[in-house]
Structure 1
Amino acid sequence: MTTSESTPDAPIEQPMTELRRRLGQVSDLGAAEALMSWEQETSMPDEAARVRGLQLSTLAGLTHAMFTDDKTGELLDAAAPDSETDQAIVRVTRRDFGKATKLPTEFVEERTRAQNEAHHAWIAARKGSDFATFAPHLERMLDLARREADLRGFQEHPYDALLDNYQPGMRAGAVGTIFADLRNRTLPLLRRIAAADDAADYSVLTRPFPAEAQKAFAWRVAGEAFGLNGDFARQDESAHPFMTNFSRSDLRITTRVELYWPACLFGTWHETGHAMYERGVSERWERTPVSGGASLGVHESQSRLFENLLGRSLPFWERYFPQLVQAAPEVTAGLDAAGLYRAVNRVNPSMIRVEADEVTYNFHIMLRFELELALLEGTLKVSELPEAWNARMGEDLGLTPPNDAQGVLQDVHWSAGLIGYFPTYALGNLLSVQLLEAAQEDATITEGIQNAEYAPLLAWLTENVYRFGRSLTPTQITERATGRPLSADPYVAYLHRKYGEIYGLEES
């Protein structure tokens, strides 16, 4: 048969195969954008900021346009997934496609440019403690957030549309209820701790600890205790610690080094928790929308679990104190593991969220959540934000920031337009304890934790949380792993138990 006599063209491959190829290309574009963002934070020359913003905008636009193209919708409609894996890919992709198609590509490009400009303005404003220079950029980010909420649509509150980006299915009203309960049950504990006699010497926390020694110790322990290593991960420095990844085999964490050396150590182990979550996601989801954590709240449960429930525990320091003695003899002089444990668990209201203790940390999140609501609703003007911030800090924590850098400018999130992100930090705190308690129903895991041997726990987390990626919702993962919905009860009980013992508080 000659070419002219050929039958009409038939599909070369099945729609599901074509869909997976297309999703892989979208994922690759997103990875390229993430790589440029990581390099911007870790090693890019300052002068490159303007052009980098244009480059990122182009990549964001291309990624969004390809994903939301009619061809993606056609493939989703035509796909006939015949495996559990493909069914999950279609289900998650269809949900993401429905949300993404509500945002025009021009809006995505505009937002990316604005984020880049706001981010560099924030860096300069924070360095100079000058909120006024950042304020116009925050106004713009809030305007974009309101526009996004309107484009996506919502039933009760515009914040719901934004929160859903980070914690699918959660609503502002539910967060407000959880936070009110959390405040009512932890504020009395904070007041009792503040009234307790505390003769401990906390100067250890700011003793000289060379920068390179800090990073080396934190990284070594991240590998030995938690399994993070240079075969698939690396660590760098940035103004604000973060974790990003371009695949489960390419994980990047950052930290920062300060006189207050716990910031580097616990910041590294915090980001290690995020990294190990991504590492544990099943390879079958690679280069699809299912790859990655179920939500930022579930993700945060892992960073807080590694940083606090493990890294600030007495068994952890009984094991790793000898290594700290070798790494920083000036820090550990006159101390033992128990003394260091007491020091790193000091409850002391502070200005900086990422340095906050377990008891006060959630108050930082509740403050930001309530201010975000007010800013989005328009009941609080951007120009009034520093004053409102300082007033809330005084009300909850009894502190007044001496400048904007230690107050309203301390976090990177608003410069990136991440309105709706902050609640996930506190939700992650709650889930961290709920998951750990469920894991410890296995005696082998409990014994391992008592000896700072975490392989059994990591295996449980991989089996019950990590491997699913986004194929299960946050609610499904929580209920499947713990047998009940998310609750503040385990976390509140944990705080009262741990800090009641440390501070010698009688049960009330």
Structure 2
Amino acid sequence: MSMDELKRRLGQVSDLHAAAALMSWDQETLMPQEAARVRGLQIATLEGLAHELFTDARIAGLLEAAGEPQDAADAAILRVTRRDYAKATRLPTEFVEEVARARNEAHHAWLHARQHSDFAAFAPHLEKMLDLARRQADFLGYDEHPYDALLNEYEPEMRASQVEPVFADLRDRTLPLLRQIVAAGDAADYSVLIRPFPPEAQKAFAWRVAGEAFGLKPEFARQDESAHPFQTNFSRSDLRITTRVEDYWPACLFGTWHETGHAMYERGISERWERTPVSRGASLGVHESQSRMFENLLARSRPFWEKYFPLLAEVAPEVTAGLDAETLYRTVNRVQPSLIRVEADEVTYNFHIMLRFELELALLEGHLKVQELPEAWNAKMQEYLGLTPPNDALGVLQDIHWSAGLIGYFPTYTLGNLLSVQLLEAAKRDRAVAEGIERAEYGPLLAWLVGNVHQYGRSLTPAQITEQATGRGLTADPYVAYLHEKYAGIYGLKARG
């Protein structure tokens, strides 16, 4: 049976990718520093073997022999595999291995550069990653812009020409809100956010809530620390998230709950797709809709803090002294232009993404040189948020993405923000979901998400999931309305006419 043999080979490819991912996770969390060079070679070998196995001519023969099966699951596996095969066969194995080696070297250079705020030390590696990105775009092909080939890796069927008007519209409708909020002044005493909160207590509280509220259990998941929080998984039964601990304790808490959203998406993908190309999120935008929903729409909501304030007061009395749930709700929803993307509030966050998107386009087009990037970064930070980073560690070096060659990734964060509200609005049409959210009991919501989003993996496109789950295509309208309503209440602003 050609379909059975195809699934067997796809399982082997999946296993090789999982082994490489496990080595990457270990590199970020546990690996001794001196192991970096050899680890890069090991990961490159595994990724090269996976690529060779997947692009082998026998796969093409099995795809052709399979025809069009009657079983819906098999048909989805074939559809996604054929699409992936067509792209993968355009990339030479030598190029795949070169990318893996360069990514490893760039990552460790970035860690050093960020620690010492030394962009010059990272610049040659970024030049290399940009060169590889341009070559990848040429291998894959594109109609309008090389950025499209890269963006398509993370957000299928999306182009830069579609992203630009969405971002422009969002900027026009949220920048006035930001200015109103800044003019209104503080809504709470924000020194609460840096009150002493022992690191182990931060992690323990965040992990406990991830389990109780959102269903992330130690039977199939674990949490560790890393320089940049991330989620990875080696199956739906082996989910890994990381966080980081700082004096600014919301970084740990909300970082944990953000990655929990990613993990629960992977957990919800149907077992029938296991060890096939379908067994991943539909896109990074859809993925981000889940993490931002958990982090912001749920964990920054008033019902959430009404429920979990007593627990926080129990484990961190030094944080909650003199406060109540309402005050803490207002505090963790502080809006203030800030330097660090992962710590940005809901209103300013998207400006961080717009900045990176515009710089990536300029770099790919050659209008901006790598050595000019820090200055360009600082200029755009001043333009959008009225801030100039005091050093490159707090500016251009803050994100891991460029060291990993993830050019074209950043727009998915904002696309996910938009979709998060659109999905939550649709879910709340179910009375049990709406009532659960008001009590900070998210079981009904999670069941709705599994049934309408998670289970499908990549068997449906992002556009199909959005249309099927919400009844319309992706739109910024619900997200913009949500921001205006929520923050008008917190900051006492005049409602929009």
Q: TM-score, normalised by structure 1?
A: 0.97
String of CA shifts for 1:148-185, please: whole Å, max 9, x gaps: 00000000000000000000000000000100000000
Equivalent residue, structure 1, for 2:352: 364
Question: How far does the alpha carbon of each residue in 1:243-296 deviate from its partner, in whole angstroms, 9 at most, with x for none?
Answer: 000000000000000000000000000000000000000000000000010000
Among 462, 474, 482, which residue is 2:462 paired with? 474
Is 1:410 paired with 2:410?
no
For the 8 Å contact 2:300–2:329, the answer to whether it is kept is yes
Q: Would you say 1:391 and 2:379 are equivalent positions?
A: yes
1: CA distance, partners of 2:250 / 2:148: 35
Q: Mark the CA change 1:207 to 1:18 in structure 2 (over 3 Å): closer, same or farther.
A: same
Residues 362 and 368 of structure 2 are in contact (CA less than 8 Å); yes or no, is this contact kept in structure 1?
Answer: yes
Aligned residue type for 1:198 = D
Identity %: 77
Q: State the 1:122 CA deviation.
A: 0.1
Deviation at 1:199, TM superposition (A): 5.4
> Residue 122 of structure 2: which of 134, 155, 179 is its match?
134
State the AA in 2 paired with 1:148. Answer: Q
Match of 2:43 among 41, 48, 56: 56
2:246 is matched with which residue? 258
Q: Distance in 2 between matches of 1:257 and 1:314?
A: 24
How far apart are 1:444 and its partner, in Å?
1.2
- 2:3 is matched with 16
- Residue type matched to 1:297 in 2? G
Contact 2:154 2:284 in 1 (8 A): yes
Q: Deviations over 1:283-332 (max 9, x none)?
A: 00000000010000000000000000000000000000000001100000
Residue 507 of structure 1: how far off its partner (Å): 2.0
Letter in 2 for 1:45: P
| 1:443 CA drift (Å) | 1.4
CA contact 2:258–2:292 (8 Å) conserved in 1? yes
Q: Deviation per CA, 1:434-485: give whole Å up to 9, x if none.
A: 0000000111111100000100000000000000000000000000000000
Corresponding residue for 1:334?
322
C-alpha contact 2:193 2:249 (8 A) present in aligned 1:
yes
- Residues in 2 aligned to 1:192 and 1:158: alpha-carbon distance in whole angstroms: 38
Q: Secondary structure at the match of 2:392?
A: coil
SS at match of 2:347: helix
**How far apart are 1:62 and its partner, in Å?**
0.3
Q: 2: CA distance between counterparts of 1:432 and 1:150?
A: 33
Query: How far apart in 1 are the matches of 2:186 and 2:251?
Result: 22
Question: Which blocks of at least 5 consecutive residues in structure 2 are unaligned?
Answer: none
Aligned: 1:400 with 2:388: yes
Residues 1:197 and 2:185 aligned together: yes
Quick one: which of 207, 215, 218 aligns to 1:219? 207
Give the aligned partner of residue 4 of structure 1.
none
Which whole-Å CA distance do the structure 2 matches of 1:277 and 1:71 have between them?
32
Is 1:42 the counterpart of 2:29? The answer is yes
1:438 maps onto 2:426 in alignment: yes
Matched, 1:74 2:61: yes
Deviation, 1:200, is: 1.9
Instruction: Please point out which of 376, 380, 388 is paired with 2:364.
Output: 376
| Residue matched to 1:352 | 340
Kindly state the Cα deviation for residue 70 of structure 1 after the two structures are TM-superposed: 0.5
- Look up the SS of the partner of 1:109 in the other structure: helix
Cα distance, 1:82 vs structure 2 = 2.7
Alignment correspondent of 1:268 = 256
Distance 1:493 1:199, change over 3 A: closer
1:322 matched residue in structure 2:
310
Contact 2:226 2:243 in 1 (8 A): yes
**Alignment match of 1:29 (pick from 16, 33, 40):** 16
Give the SS at the match of 2:393: coil
Amino acid paired to 2:353 = I
Moved more, 98-107 or 78-87: 78-87
Q: What CA distance in whole angstroms lies between the structure 2 residues aligned with 1:319 and 1:179?
A: 35
> Distance between the aligned counterparts of 1:135 and 1:452, measured in 2?
46
Partner residue in 2 for 1:180: 168
- The reply to whether residue 97 of structure 1 matches residue 85 of structure 2 is yes
SS at match of 2:326: helix
Larger Rg: 1
AA of the residue aligned to 1:55: Q
> Aligned equivalents of 2:384 and 2:495: distance in 1?
23
What residue in structure 2 maps to residue 291 of structure 1?
279
Q: Does the Cα contact within 8 Å between 2:45 and 2:97 map onto a contact in 1?
A: yes
1:314-354: CA deviation from partner (whole Å, max 9, x where unpaired): 00000000000011000000000000000000001110000
Structure 2 counterpart of 1:278: 266
- State the AA in 2 paired with 1:288: T
CA distance in 1, matches of 2:214, 2:495: 34
**Structure 1: 5+ residue runs without aligned partners?**
1-13
Alpha-carbon distance in structure 1 between the residues aligned to 2:176 and 2:198: 38
CA gap 1:448/1:18 in 2 versus in 1, 3 angstroms: same
Q: C-alpha distance in 1, partners of 2:70/2:63?
A: 14
Q: 1:237 aligns with which of 222, 225, 235?
A: 225
- d(CA) in 2 for partners of 1:432, 1:299: 10
2:142 maps to which residue?
154
List aligned pairs for 1:465-504, cutoff 5 A: 465-504=453-492
What TM-score, normalized by structure 2, do the two folds share?
Answer: 0.99
Q: Which amino acid aligns with 1:273?
A: G
Match of 1:241, as an amino acid?
P
Matching residue within 55, 66, 72 for 1:84? 72
CA distance in 2, matches of 1:153, 1:292: 24
| Cα distance in structure 2, aligned partners of 1:288 and 1:85 | 11
Q: Partner of 2:91: helix, strand, or coil? A: coil
Cα separation, 2, equivalents of 1:90 and 1:199: 54
Q: CA deviation at 1:395?
A: 0.6
Q: Distance in 2 between matches of 1:286 and 1:199?
A: 47
Paired with 1:84 and 1:36, the residues of 2 have a C-alpha distance of 34
SS of the residue corresponding to residue 398 of structure 2 reads coil
